[in-house]
């Protein structure tokens, strides 16, 4: 989905995700009327994942990708109500209807004992769902933020960002953060020097953005401090009213979008293209259908412009000069290490790559590696 930075919304065909940057409140609407995502006044997010239609299923999937991108997890998921909105009472009514239908089937003469046992198990699951929804409705909705049990696999790496000025750990903030384990371990290991310098960030500001999916990419795209691009970025941030006191994953996504667009501008550069070193078994892939090897910096930048993402940034160019590889397979951009293992994969505007595409490419690479070893 495309981020419209001035309107604070993500948009695709007949699907819009609205963002309130002040409190990170989100809502989503399919076909201009069917609301399936909403936020209460304290920040709890309800997502209606009911199967309304195949097209709205696609909209729901795209919006879940946006939530993962921003490091946000819904407080509760609805699965049964087909009414517009995210009414907890509507969900309970729909589940009760399903329970009554199952009980009717159980009481019919001639039904099989095993089938009825399965129906009883399903009824119990439905009742457990109702209990969970009622608990959330009565204790959290519009009252206080729902906090699942903290479970963070990188606690030791995250903790330094949650040390307050007095040297003590912010246990509440750390537990809140650990609800959504981050994948930005690279950013944690080396810190965020570019973003920190740009905003004069302190720990209390950094901890707010650690779960943003493309944090490392954004950090690496920040231009050098003594460049015109840096001055332009500072002026853009001022116009957008983005500063260290209001920094959120959504605002970092805005910065990522701005830097990606700047990087992908078509500028005439008469210099010779930089040829990347390519492993011989990777070279043999270029004869495969639906596959294009990106073996120069020009091709990599052109791929970034077509796909509207940051594969053409200095970070990835340097990586390919150092031995990594990039290619387009079935319309998705893949970034591989020297051995041909997939490090990252994204479609247009950083949309997720289907798992079967990744498996197909991995199998192709393994096949070509084995053929090359047999020949040599």
Instruction: Calculate mean pLDDT across residues 159-174.
Output: 75
- Are 164 and 128 found together in one domain? no
- Structure confidence at residue 206 (pLDDT): 85
pLDDT tens profile 279-310 = 999 999 988 999 999 999 999 999 999 999 99
Count of structural domains within the chain:
3
- Are 244 and 337 found together in one domain? no
Q: Residues 334, 337, 339, 342: what is their CA dihedral angle, to the nearest 10 degrees?
A: -40
Please identify, among 100, 135, 170, the residue that sits at the C-terminal boundary of a domain.
Answer: 135
Q: Give the range of the structural domain holding residue 209, as residue numbers without chain letter.
A: 155-263
User: For residue 188, is it within any domain?
Assistant: yes
pLDDT tens profile 167-206 = 887 776 676 666 555 555 555 566 788 999 999 988 888 8
User: For residue 343, is it within any domain?
Assistant: yes
Instruction: Calculate mean pLDDT across residues 334-351.
Output: 92
Q: Is 195 helix (H, G, I), strand (E, B) or coil?
A: helix
- Are 259 and 284 found together in one domain? no
Please identify, among 237, 263, 289, the residue that sits at the C-terminal boundary of a domain.
Answer: 263
Smallest CA-to-CA distance from 348 within 308, 292, 288 is with 308
- Are 259 and 290 found together in one domain? no
User: Degrees (nearest 5) of the Cα angle 260, 261, 263?
Assistant: 65
- Structure confidence at residue 179 (pLDDT): 57
Instruction: Calculate mean pLDDT across residues 231-250.
Output: 93
User: For residue 146, is it within any domain?
Assistant: no
User: For residue 67, is it within any domain?
Assistant: yes
- Structure confidence at residue 266 (pLDDT): 65
The answer for 287, left when phi > 0, alpha when psi is -120 to 50, beta otherwise, is alpha
User: For residue 165, is it within any domain?
Assistant: yes
pLDDT score of 85 more than 90: no
- Structure confidence at residue 113 (pLDDT): 84
User: For residue 101, is it within any domain?
Assistant: yes
- Structure confidence at residue 27 (pLDDT): 96
pLDDT score of 133 more than 80: yes
pLDDT band at 376 (very low <50, low <70, confident <90, very high): low
- Structure confidence at residue 30 (pLDDT): 94
- Are 7 and 91 found together in one domain? yes
Q: What pairing do the DSSP bridges indicate for beta strands 342-346 and 25-30?
A: unpaired
Please identify, among 211, 228, 263, the residue that sits at the C-terminal boundary of a domain.
Answer: 263
- Are 194 and 129 found together in one domain? no
- Structure confidence at residue 204 (pLDDT): 80
- Are 226 and 296 found together in one domain? no
Which CA distances in Å does 81 have to 6, 88, 159, 161?
33, 9, 41, 41
- Mean of per-residue pLDDT scores for the chain: 88
pLDDT band at 272 (very low <50, low <70, confident <90, very high): confident
Q: 56 Cβ partners below 8 Å, 6+ apart?
A: 30, 31, 34, 36
- Are 304 and 362 found together in one domain? yes
pLDDT tens profile 5-32 = 889 999 998 999 999 998 889 999 999 9
Instruction: Calculate mean pLDDT across residues 135-147.
Output: 90
pLDDT score of 88 more than 60: yes
User: For residue 181, is it within any domain?
Assistant: yes
pLDDT score of 269 more than 70: no
Among 126-135, 141-150, 252-261, which stretch is predicted with the lowest mean pLDDT? 141-150
- Are 206 and 317 found together in one domain? no
- Are 122 and 8 found together in one domain? yes
- Are 284 and 315 found together in one domain? yes
User: For residue 150, is it within any domain?
Assistant: no
- Structure confidence at residue 170 (pLDDT): 76
């Amino acid at each position: 989905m495309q981020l419209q930075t001035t309107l604070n919304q993500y948009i695709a065909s007949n699907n819009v995700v609205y963002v309130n940057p002040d409190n990170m409140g989100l809502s989503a609407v399919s076909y201009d009327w069917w609301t399936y995502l909403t936020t209460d006044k304290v920040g709890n997010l309800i997502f209606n994942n009911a199967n309304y239609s195949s097209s709205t299923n696609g909209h729901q999937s795209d919006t879940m990708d946006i939530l993962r991108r921003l490091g946000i997890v819904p407080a509760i998921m609805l699965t049964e109500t087909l009414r517009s909105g995210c009414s907890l009472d509507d969900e309970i009514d729909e589940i009760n209807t399903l329970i009554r239908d199952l009980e009717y089937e159980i009481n019919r003469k001639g039904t099989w004992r095993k089938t009825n046992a399965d129906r009883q198990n399903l009824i119990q699951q439905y009742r457990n769902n109702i209990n969970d929804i009622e608990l959330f409705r009565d204790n959290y909705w519009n009252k206080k933020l729902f906090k699942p049990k903290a479970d963070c696999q990188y606690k030791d790496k995250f903790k330094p960002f949650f040390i307050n000025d007095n040297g003590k750990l912010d246990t509440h903030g750390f537990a809140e953060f650990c609800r959504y384990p981050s994948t930005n371990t690279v950013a944690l290991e080396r810190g965020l020097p570019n973003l920190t310098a740009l905003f004069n960030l302190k720990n209390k500001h950094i901890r707010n953005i650690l779960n943003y999916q493309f944090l490392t990419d954004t950090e690496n795209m920040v231009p050098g401090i003594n460049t015109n691009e840096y001055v332009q970025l500072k002026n853009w941030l001022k116009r957008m009213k983005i500063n260290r006191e209001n920094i959120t994953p959504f605002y970092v996504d805005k910065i990522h979008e701005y830097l990606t667009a700047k990087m992908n501008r078509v500028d005439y550069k008469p210099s010779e293209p930089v040829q990347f070193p390519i492993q011989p078994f990777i070279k043999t892939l270029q004869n495969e259908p639906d596959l294009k090897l990106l073996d120069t910096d020009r091709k990599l930048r052109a791929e970034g412009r077509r796909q509207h993402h940051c594969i053409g940034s200095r970070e990835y160019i340097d990586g390919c000069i150092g031995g990594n590889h990039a290619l387009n397979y079935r319309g998705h951009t893949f970034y591989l290490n020297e051995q041909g293992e997939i490090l990252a994969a994204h479609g247009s505007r950083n949309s997720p790559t289907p798992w079967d595409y990744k498996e197909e490419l991995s199998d192709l690479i393994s096949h070509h590696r084995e053929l090359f070893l047999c020949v040599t």
